[in-house]
């Protein structure tokens, strides 16, 4: 496997874990009625490659599941980065 693909996969793994953790932290903060993580932060993290972690966080923590735009943003992030990964792989 080419080095670029390995680096991209590691990057995506880290970003997805970060968004997954952010979803869990935001859920805990919501239950405690504390200051929350901004939705924009969750969206940006999804768009830079964390969409799968966002989906998993939604399902596991039952968080933001009634907000349709989270599904859309996470899906856009997944599709965008799947295309980027495919393009990087096909160019090598």
- Residue 86's pLDDT is 92
Instruction: Give Cα separations from 59 to 33, 46, 66, 92 (angstroms).
Output: 21, 15, 11, 35
User: pTM score, two decimals?
Assistant: 0.92
Domain boundaries, the chain: 3-91
* pLDDT tens for the 92 residues of the chain, in order: 789 999 999 999 999 999 999 999 999 999 999 999 999 999 999 999 999 999 999 999 999 999 999 999 999 999 999 999 999 888 76
- Residue 2's pLDDT is 86
Residue that is written with structure tokens 């596991």 in the block:
60
């Amino acid at each position: 496997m080419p080095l670029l693909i390995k680096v991209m996969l590691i990057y995506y793994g880290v970003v997805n874990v970060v968004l997954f953790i952010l979803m869990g932290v935001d859920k805990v903060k919501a239950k405690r009625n504390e200051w929350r993580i901004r939705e924009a932060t969750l969206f940006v993290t999804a768009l830079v490659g964390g969409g799968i972690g966002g989906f998993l966080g939604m399902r596991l923590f039952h968080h933001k599941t009634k907000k349709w735009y989270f599904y859309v943003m996470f899906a856009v992030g997944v599709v965008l980065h799947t295309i980027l990964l495919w393009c990087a792989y096909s160019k090598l």
